[in-house]
Amino acid sequence: MNTIVVYAKLYDLNTDSWFDILDIRDSYADVCDVKVGIGRCGAYSNGVYHWLSADYTCIICFDFRSNKFRTIETPSTMDYGQIIEANNCIAYIVYSYHVADDTTNNWAEIWNLKQDGSWVKQCNIALPQACVNFIYPLPLISISTVMWKQ
């Protein structure tokens, strides 16, 4: 029977070398049960990199100061989301598309991650129907200013 070893490697620019983060299974069991969404962009803020799990149920975090992984639950159970950085804070944009009675309601919820790990809902944004499948947020100038690219 083959044993799967879960580990990570980091490259240190100062020493021009790679180093191992030991077997993650022992210390970070919650991370090992998560499937990472390959090709998904994440966001970096305050020494921590964040990216979404493949099923959008949690955010995987790697703290470069402590070289440790952890997970954070996503703030909502909507359709799917995206992580962005704004003003050195992590924001999570959750997209919701609903069709009922020949009416389509398309929304984006913007949530802020607080330092204690909890989420605060900032706002709902109605998305234009004509471009709902083709828009995504550009990096934010501030959490109150969102620019969308079509």
Alpha helical stretches, state H, 3-150: 24-27, 29-32
Q: With 50 as the cut, is the pLDDT of residue 12 above it?
A: yes
> Which letter, b or e, does each residue of 92-116 get, where b requires 16 or more Cβ atoms within 10 Å of its Cβ?
bbbbbeeeeeeeeebbbbbbbbeee
Q: Are 137 and 84 in contact (CB under 8 A)?
A: yes
Residue 150 has what pLDDT?
43
**pTM summary value:** 0.70
Residue ranges per structural domain of the chain:
35-142
